[in-house]
Amino acid sequence: MNKNQIQEALVTAMEQQWHSALNAANQAHKTASDSENKPEHQYDTLALEAAYLAHGQSERVLELEQNLLKARKLIMKEYSVDDPIGLCALAVLQDAKKHEEYFFISPVGGGMQLSIAGKTITVINPDAPVSRKLIGSYLGDEIELPTGHWQEIIALY
């Protein structure tokens, strides 16, 4: 499998998140600065709440921008049979019923599901429970997932 496609899909998904967050931040700033939101009395906190929301949304936009830059700069290492699993590895796991799961270990985008060439690839951060089981393992190893099921690493890219 071409891991450059994974990186492109990850960047595209993160760009969509960034655009959504930017739109939400702009709307929150507009609401916070609207003349209709001036406090009518000392207990009217609508403007203050809107300002807090705008600030939080702006922080989220900055965080997404930083993560997007990291995603664009990922180095797609090709793993061989003798390499232990690490960052930017795509591991294919198979259970006893021959059901396959695809996991891509990335410092950003954890929890995202990417669809590439008819396969669903789950992006996991290095500190995720599945990553902790995978990192340092090798092709052919069996690992116990946090769900209690054992799976074999049948492919590594």
Judge whether residue 12 has pLDDT over 80.
yes
Q: What is the pTM of this model?
A: 0.84
73-113 pLDDT tens trace: 999 999 998 999 999 999 999 999 999 999 999 999 999 99
What are the angstrom distances between the C-alpha of 39 and each of 55, 57, 131, 142? 19, 22, 49, 62
Q: Where are the domains of the chain?
A: 3-72, 90-156
CB 9 within 8 A of CB 114: yes
Nearest to 13 by CA among 130, 123, 118, 131: 123
Judge whether residue 121 has pLDDT over 90.
yes
Average pLDDT over residues 17-39: 80
Give CA–CA dist 126/106, Å, rounded: 7
CB 105 within 8 A of CB 3: no
Give CA–CA dist 4/12, Å, rounded: 12
Judge whether residue 119 has pLDDT over 60.
yes
CB 97 within 8 A of CB 1: no
Nearest to 50 by CA among 74, 33, 75: 33
CB 34 within 8 A of CB 49: no
Give the CATH fold of the 90-156 domain.
Chitinase A; domain 3 (3.10.50)
pLDDT, residue 18, reads 96
- Residue 114, token pair as written in the block: 């990417």
pLDDT, residue 129, reads 95
Give CA–CA dist 134/88, Å, rounded: 12
DSSP string, 100-150: EEEEEE-SS-TT-EEEETTEEEEEE-TTSHHHHHHTT--TT-EEE-TTS-E
